[in-house]
Structure 1
């Protein structure tokens, strides 16, 4: 498998003039089905595109839509995009600001305790049913956006996760055809204020999980036709030191199972995001516990999907 690198603009107050090398892990003809939202220099207009094969350029999809959620809702086929790909206008990746690939989803649904290793590090039995919770969409930030160290917490933690992006309205879905309702996959951080998650707010997760900037996502959404996410390496490093390393095959409840269970009572809509859980190595269960502080740099990666890099800043 060939590894390619290309520069992208890091978003963040102290980082805007620097470049970062991020990896693509496939060089097949389908690599350009990585959908990305971005802004050009000196513009506040959000645009939609797809990465070129080598990732050095973004091909403009404004003829289809300016945001991915609307594109998904339109039902436009991937074949339609491929048919027009060669004639699309391009912009250099290094000249734009990369945004979260999904903005304003109706739901961000999360699954707790869904990796065997994450249960093992807590000496907890594997759950017999998934534990669901949610994050507000206002927690979203881009793949190179800052994570705010909010002053009300001193236990901010990392959790790298595989994100699933829903492609069509789903209700009462069977496991056997659940993947028909998926559009693609991305990389996420389920940043968590452990004190607010575990000890404050009556033990409810919402505040601890939904603080502003607590859901970095990106750098793109790779279409499901390009990749099988069932057994991919997933890692997280802080300041260059690897903290988490696992494989998506460790999921206790896999993607079809999650979608099937949720849709027995909750309708999933195009653009909804599901965070599927995190492997072992989170800060609160290390000995001694470790938490994020201003100045830290979090690197989260899923092979074949992408890498996000987020700086922690003062709140």
Structure 2
């Protein structure tokens, strides 16, 4: 089952069930959007409202998370290309929610950012309140799977000795997410393929079997002292192939289309635009 948050003809955001060729309206989205809770999935599963053609609606980022926890250095291919040490525990930073945009919205690069980069990732949406989860509780907390592009301003991220990861990841529009949310039972969570393309050129390709820390390990670790609530997001890390580590470096350019394809979710597509 696939859920979306969308707007059409100036209406307030709605939830819907995405079928092969249409969206079944499931009613108003509410403040949190699709939070991947059991109640949200039940509402979408039982939807019997009007039908919408996907090409006639605007797909929004699925939810309004209280927090977005992003994971760094979680694929060995990315560790290798950065010449950094393989982490012994998960490495995390925050993405502020103002960075979120949806499918087909523009990524706007601030005038000051000279090194804009891409990071295609599988994202988890937490579906239940979770604190100090064991492995079973961590698996049960996974409410949905979607795609996220952890767009990274390397200038802002790396220009100071202390490294400002959160700043470089949190500019407006720097966290495209979507286009839909897939129920975790519909996927093999240990082998979800992820691929990033720039104007059709494949720049990243891997799957979640190559994660250093798997989904449950991440939730176990981060929930020690931090409570997750429905709608929270974990961006699980990017594989090798980022622009900043290429020889020579390669950054996002005005007018390019960047796509993140996550198996079962589909393709998250956004055009790059430089701030005027």
TM-score by length of 1: 0.83
Q: Tell me whether 1:99 sits opposite 2:67 in the alignment.
A: no
Unaligned runs of 5+ residues in structure 2 are none
Paired with 1:302 and 1:74, the residues of 2 have a C-alpha distance of 21
Aligned residues of 1:233 and 1:246 also touching (Cα < 8 A): yes
Paired with 1:36 and 1:48, the residues of 2 have a C-alpha distance of 6
Per-residue Cα deviation, 1:85-132 (whole angstroms, up to 9, x for no partner): 4x3321111111111111x21001000000011011123332101111
Name which of 226, 232, 237 aligns with 2:186: 226
Unaligned runs of 5+ residues in structure 1 are 1-32
Aligned residues of 1:37 and 1:68 also touching (Cα < 8 A): no
Match of 1:113 in 2: 73
Moved over 3 A (4+): 67-75, 77-82
**How many matched pairs?**
275
Q: Aligned-pair distance for 1:67?
A: 4.2
Paired with 2:26 and 2:213, the residues of 1 have a C-alpha distance of 35
Q: Aligned-pair distance for 1:229?
A: 2.4
TM-score by length of 2: 0.94
Paired with 2:71 and 2:236, the residues of 1 have a C-alpha distance of 5
Paired with 1:226 and 1:74, the residues of 2 have a C-alpha distance of 16
Q: Tell me whether 1:90 sits opposite 2:58 in the alignment.
A: no
Aligned residues of 2:34 and 2:40 also touching (Cα < 8 A): no
Pair 1:204–1:176, CA change in 2 (3 A) = same
Paired with 1:288 and 1:74, the residues of 2 have a C-alpha distance of 44
Query: Which region of structure 1 is more displaced relative to structure 2, 292-301 or 251-260?
Result: 292-301
Pair 1:68–1:227, CA change in 2 (3 A) = farther
Pair 1:264–1:154, CA change in 2 (3 A) = same
RMSD: 1.8
Match of 1:57 in 2: 22
Q: Aligned-pair distance for 1:44?
A: 4.2
Match of 1:6 in 2: none
Per-residue Cα deviation, 1:189-222 (whole angstroms, up to 9, x for no partner): 0000001111138422121010000000000111
